[in-house]
């Protein structure tokens, strides 16, 4: 383990039940600014479409908004679902963002559409599936790289900006592709914990140096519920339980207030599925989360951790970052 494992944040811009999108995005800005003040390295936004309760669909617009309201934290996509977009459009958008906020923009890419087939058709990408992903990634790399003699299609802005491209995944496929292309890799342990060890191992074992990186660089995303007491954290995590339950049932994903008990809200089968979904969750007070992360980092080699903090109360959510930052600093002291 290196002397400092950077901590970063993944944001869905989730709407609390009965709240407005405007207030939700204002809370996201406050959350990003607080994370920046505590030294979190990145603030990434996830692309989702046609999902009531998730407002990060216009991902590049929100990246620009957050970057404009902050000063040092890197802002990016976690991720852009590339099957939904022509690579040229993404190169132009992120090239523009890089010109506006030099050295602060990340382009994380996913190969899932992040939505349903009907919505894919509404995005006018019908029939363009994940099988085209490697070709689209290569095209994006070329469009964001230096202009070549005779190049006919150019991303203006975009060409020569070399915006860092990350591959994101919840399976082994993206780990292999990231390794083959010499790109940084992020594993989506916040919703698909099952294959994280194997994917991270494959990525390191198969990594081939590329144009931008000599060594592998892997990030692991985790759900976190930090609170002043472990008892409070167990109460606060029922917000996540209710939202994942709604996801499983195909219902709107509004954030709901925490409840004293989930009894009667979920079946035993749904409870098992939700606990599996959150298999990598770190939950509790500072000492408990410190212990959980110490145990995790002793068994898996990662260069960075990214957290989803799915708490209903915006003030408690920001306070959760205070707790995570203290854990990060303790880990750094111990490693040094």
CA count, 13 A, side-chain hemisphere, 58: 7
- Residue 161: domain span: 7-229+279-335
**pLDDT tens-place string over residues 251-283:** 999 999 999 999 999 999 999 999 999 999 999
Could you list the beta-strand ranges (E) of the chain: 7-11, 42-45, 74-81, 105-110, 165-169, 185-187, 218-226, 282-284, 304-308
CATH no. for residue 308? 3.20.20.30
87-100 vs 133-144: helix crossing angle, rounded to 10: 40
**pLDDT tens-place string over residues 281-300:** 999 999 999 999 999 999 99
Residue 217 belongs to some domain of the structure: yes
Q: What is the pTM of this model?
A: 0.94
Q: How many domains, in total, are found in the chain?
A: 1
Residue 306 belongs to some domain of the structure: yes
Instruction: Kindly tell me the sign of the dihedral angle through the C-alpha atoms of 207, 212, 214, 218.
Output: negative
Residue 257 belongs to some domain of the structure: no
Residue 248 belongs to some domain of the structure: no
Residue 72 belongs to some domain of the structure: yes
Q: Are the CB atoms for 250 and 9 separated by under 8 Å?
A: no
The share of the chain scoring above pLDDT 90, in percent, equals 85
Residue 194 belongs to some domain of the structure: yes
């Amino acid at each position: 383990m290196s002397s400092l494992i950077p901590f970063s944040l993944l944001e869905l811009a989730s709407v609390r039940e009965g709240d407005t999108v405007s207030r939700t995005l204002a809370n996201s800005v406050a959350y990003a600014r607080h994370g920046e003040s505590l030294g979190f390295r990145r603030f990434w936004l996830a692309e989702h479409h046609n999902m009531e309760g998730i407002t990060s669909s216009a991902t590049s617009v929100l990246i620009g908004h957050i970057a404009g309201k902050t000063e040092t934290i890197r802002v990016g996509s976690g991720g852009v679902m590339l099957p939904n977009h022509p690579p040229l459009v993404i190169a132009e958008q992120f090239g523009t963002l890089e010109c506006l906020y030099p050295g602060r923009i990340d382009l994380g890419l996913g190969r899932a559409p992040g939505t349903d087939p009907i919505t894919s058709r509404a995005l006018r990408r019908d029939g363009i599936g994940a099988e085209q992903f490697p070709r689209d990634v290569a095209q994006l790399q070329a469009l964001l790289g230096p202009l070549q003699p005779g190049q006919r299609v150019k991303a203006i802005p975009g060409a020569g900006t070399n915006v860092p491209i990350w591959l994101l995944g919840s399976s082994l496929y993206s780990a292999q592709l990231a390794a083959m292309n010499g790109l940084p890799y992020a594993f989506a342990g916040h919703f698909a914990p099952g294959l994280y060890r194997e994917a991270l191992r494959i990525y390191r074992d198969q990594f081939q140096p590329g144009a931008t990186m000599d060594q592998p660089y892997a990030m692991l995303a985790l759900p976190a519920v930090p609170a002043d007491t472990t008892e409070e954290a167990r109460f606060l995590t029922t917000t996540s339980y209710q939202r994942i339950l709604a996801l499983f049932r195909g219902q709107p994903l509004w954030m709901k207030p925490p409840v004293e008990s989930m009894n009667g809200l979920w079946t035993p089968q749904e409870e098992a599925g939700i606990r599996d979904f959150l298999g990598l969750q770190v939950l509790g007070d500072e000492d408990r989360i410190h212990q959980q992360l110490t145990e995790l980092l002793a068994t898996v080699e990662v260069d960075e951790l990214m957290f989803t903090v799915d708490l209903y109360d915006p003030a408690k959510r920001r306070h959760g970052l205070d707790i995570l930052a203290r854990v990060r600093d303790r880990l750094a002291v111990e490693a040094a």
